[in-house]
Structure 1
């Protein structure tokens, strides 16, 4: 009775103070599931609910049960993998005998597509390869690694192949990276699949999974690159100054003599201006003639440590990014130095502009003149942390915000203009992983999980706000994707690695990208479709959908959803979900929460929020 009265009071408060957002449906799942441990949304929109008495899918529009499996009790949330762009997911659960089993399921009807049964396989990761009409699953059984090919044409397992003993490193375990594949699949002219794992090369026949050939290096493989230009496979091994070249069809070593390097090979890329291959080494670089595989320069150009080479015409710009001091050098077509320039700090972004090479380091930003090697900007732009980045397509400028200052940067000309300064954001420090988003005809939305601010395109702060997080150990929010950790270097700089990714994408002409579960900050199911085939007019549609969902602080095009401590001290609940208008900063809707760490989902397409509270009450609100 007391609980019923509390819910009535909560409902009344919601109606009076939440601008009357609509509760579309509410389902108590205690009888069918007993306790709802977690909810997720499948790529086709269904709400998946895992409980102590089973596992079910509900229609997101009505709340009615679409399918239920009473055998799937206490499904492990940590095992859940939503396969991007497909109505498919993977889960693990414990059977009555206490043994764990893994299932690949069709979310639309609950059909089991693959069952590990008693064989004790565990799916750890996957890679969707549409051009090969397949999903490649990484699996573990006992201490052995396995690959499984799952067909996107038949929706059936085709084969399972062993690929050596599992030796997942401590770093991967700490970072939560379940993948054992270090070098993703490449396919040669015969269609064979080439994979690098640890110090091994595996070449498999994709039709049946049979091993074509295998090679074990003396140390960890640092680079494994297949070149379609000459149908050769290039191998670089840690602590080895020898480049090895294979015939991918047979595994025969076809290296012309002994190709000695400065350090070891770290990458191989094509030079579009000359059709040569650029060989990147740990301490320098050289050019390879793909017809003969001979090095074109007698000695590799030395720069230690080498992190990047950017070709431009007949010249090359080599960058060595040390943690405290870096170096940039212009190198001509003969491998001779034209000039070099020192860069203070770690240069985490480099890009070609009309005037020169722009760089952003942990201490400064400037443009180095192509001809002289000198700084173009008389005064450095300095960043204390990785700046928030977005693209203003109306002005055709990259917007950069950091430490109270806003800049408009022209990627083509290299011109940079300060358009905002002394901007004070609420409770934002250099450690805040701040990100940015362009709002058409409005300005620049600056945000993190708990921060929202808007800067006009003229540099005026329209609003700034901070929402106190509900709990210091709130499991709703993923750990911040901080740049120092992501780059693998000891940097005294904070910020989101997504901003570095954004800068890189913008430099390559990519103004928007869809992030997915394989490493993205947001979980995006799909905003397009998945098609398989060779691309020669025989593409087959697997799934077409346009629903996107988000994790952490949820986003939609116009609003930000934030879980925070309730700002209304007289409210019957201590926590709430706020729907904040990005353009105005105003709270347009809010939902009082019974839990301070609820499990909730946002459906952007249908403008709905799904909440699992007290492990039994599942509610759907429309906005």
Structure 2
């Protein structure tokens, strides 16, 4: 056995030497960009455009061209908290508030085409209260105060985001202002204001109806658009209320339903409204802590007719809901602190007893055998009707810092890597065995597992190991990190910050299928699923972004590792099937800042304070 491994290693070594000789040195970039100011942050967008924040503004870089896609300097330096990348849409909203909130600047940029589609200055607005992208309608709804030419009227306008043209405009009476995110329907626009909830006829601009419900922060309609749920934050900001309004403006519930905590998930069903809220009493003490209750998620099921809770006894969570799925016969949920349960729509527990699991449920998915769950401490498949465990011997391991999984179709087995152990679970029998010990160098453990044509690939930041189907190592590549100072220098991008209400509503719209339990599938399919949510939207930029979601990763057969090369710190491209070095990019920087676009196959590197180099990784 030792002899055969030695022969394989020697063969790989000879091949590696020959490859290194021909490895491409790429100190000269394929593309250079002078962004015109000091670089502060870089963000690789979902659509593949690199957005760079400088001291002078924002710059857009499109892979494959030397010219800047856009150079937005209207507002000068833009802080991270002033940016909002609309999820699953090709739009960036820039917002700045002046001294004393007397002037408000807003702009919407299509980061795929580089066009500025809207700005307060160009479109005659003095103040903007709300600025919301509506998908899949591909519209922008803006509310605020117009400039002097419009007599400072409070107004609302709708813009087409494919062209940037204004489609509808209407003014509001008196001091009434929009208080939350509007809801765009097929036959009108629902506006939440500080005084009422009203529906605007987009053809005439007239008010079709108005109802006395104030300070709604966001809304959602059922598929027929005949029933509308509005979410209101309580005066103290710690709880919420849920209202239900008909398409004719009638209040369908006599009183709003009071919710403890903040609503974080919901689903409109024929039987009613399933709702999850989080109670957080951290930082509270005394009576305030006692009044708020335990820090945990609350699950409720509200009657569609009157808003009352249909469950006499809500399921105990004893923690925060991490997974929440609507099934044909009820609601399946998993708790971060550990535990999975299922409850029918009429409030009856469907599992024989709550299923105990380890903490941090990383995966819950459908399989032919039942529900697979993988946590930081254990894994199993359970019967979705009874909650009984399917595997004869549950897979348990010490709490792992790194857990990865994959399905090996060739051998009909689940592969689960937990720190330095690779476990195999027979899909037919549930038999569990340890397939391999994966000892990585540099105090690393595998963070990803991939089933390749030639075996099982385990990877981390600095390690790659290919195992054969029996779990023996075919080859192992380790490239030492260039030093602690360089580790973590990868640009993680700007964190998009928006108000809690806007973020909750926008992300709910962008992830319409988030409460549907998916199947345990091969890697990469999540991107295709993500694109499905955009398919109903129109527009050239949306179509271009959708193609990226559907495309195969340009670097699916390679891994990139930052390490110390002969001529300085750089990035090496390693073949996933052989471990061979295919390319070197010497960055000549002890602490390089870079971003790899795996789908587009481009490396962006901050060469100096004002310059970005881009390297084509597909060569």
Q: TM-score, normalised by structure 1?
A: 0.61
1:299 aligns with 312
Length, aligned pairs only? 527
Equivalents in 1 of 2:257, 2:69: separation in Å? 62
Give 1:115's match in structure 2, choosing from 116, 119, 129: 119
2:251 aligns with 253
Equivalents in 1 of 2:462, 2:127: separation in Å? 40
Equivalents in 1 of 2:516, 2:415: separation in Å? 10
**Aligned pairs (5 A) from 1:105-504:** 105=109, 111-117=115-121, 127=133, 129-130=135-136, 132-135=137-140, 150-156=159-165, 190-193=187-190, 205=200, 207=202, 215=213, 226-228=221-223, 231-234=226-229, 246-249=244-247, 252-255=250-253, 269=267, 276-277=271-272, 279=274, 292=305, 299-300=312-313, 302-305=315-318, 307=321, 316=330, 321=335, 323=337, 326=339, 328=341, 335=348, 339-341=352-354, 343=356, 345-346=358-359, 348=361, 349-351=363-365, 357-368=371-382, 374-383=388-397, 384-385=399-400, 387-392=403-408, 399-407=415-423, 415=430, 417-418=432-433, 420-427=435-442, 434-436=447-449, 438-461=450-473, 462-465=475-478, 467-468=480-481, 471=485, 474-478=488-492
Q: Unaligned stretches of 5+ in structure 1?
A: 1-14, 167-180, 482-500, 517-525, 534-538
Asked whether the equivalents of residues 197 and 213 of structure 2 are also in contact (C-alpha less than 8 Å), the reply is: yes
2:570 aligns with 576
Equivalents in 2 of 1:150, 1:446: separation in Å? 49
1:589 aligns with 583
Q: Deviations over 1:205-250 (max 9, x none)?
A: 4947989557458xx99x9764447933457889999996522435
Equivalents in 2 of 1:529, 1:281: separation in Å? 23
Equivalents in 1 of 2:262, 2:52: separation in Å? 50
2:151 aligns with none
Structure 1 residue 596, shift from structure 2 partner: 3.3
Q: Using CA pairs under 8 Å that are at least 6 residues apart, name the structure with larger relative contact order, 1 or 2.
A: 2
Equivalents in 1 of 2:328, 2:245: separation in Å? 31
1:63 aligns with 66
Q: Unaligned stretches of 5+ in structure 2?
A: 1-19, 147-154, 278-296, 496-513
Equivalents in 2 of 1:606, 1:90: separation in Å? 24
CA separation of 1:233 and 1:366: change in aligned 2, threshold 3 A? same
Q: Deviations over 1:89-129 (max 9, x none)?
A: 5568999xxx9965444567765432344978799996561
Structure 1 residue 559, shift from structure 2 partner: 1.7
- The SS at the match of 2:24 is coil
Q: TM-score, normalised by structure 2?
A: 0.61
Equivalents in 2 of 1:163, 1:445: separation in Å? 61
Equivalents in 1 of 2:110, 2:211: separation in Å? 35
Equivalents in 2 of 1:212, 1:261: separation in Å? 25
Equivalents in 2 of 1:503, 1:532: separation in Å? 19
Give 1:19's match in structure 2, choosing from 20, 24, 30: 24
Asked whether the equivalents of residues 41 and 494 of structure 2 are also in contact (C-alpha less than 8 Å), the reply is: no
1:615 aligns with 609
CA separation of 1:408 and 1:28: change in aligned 2, threshold 3 A? closer
Asked whether the equivalents of residues 243 and 255 of structure 2 are also in contact (C-alpha less than 8 Å), the reply is: no
- The SS at the match of 1:255 is coil
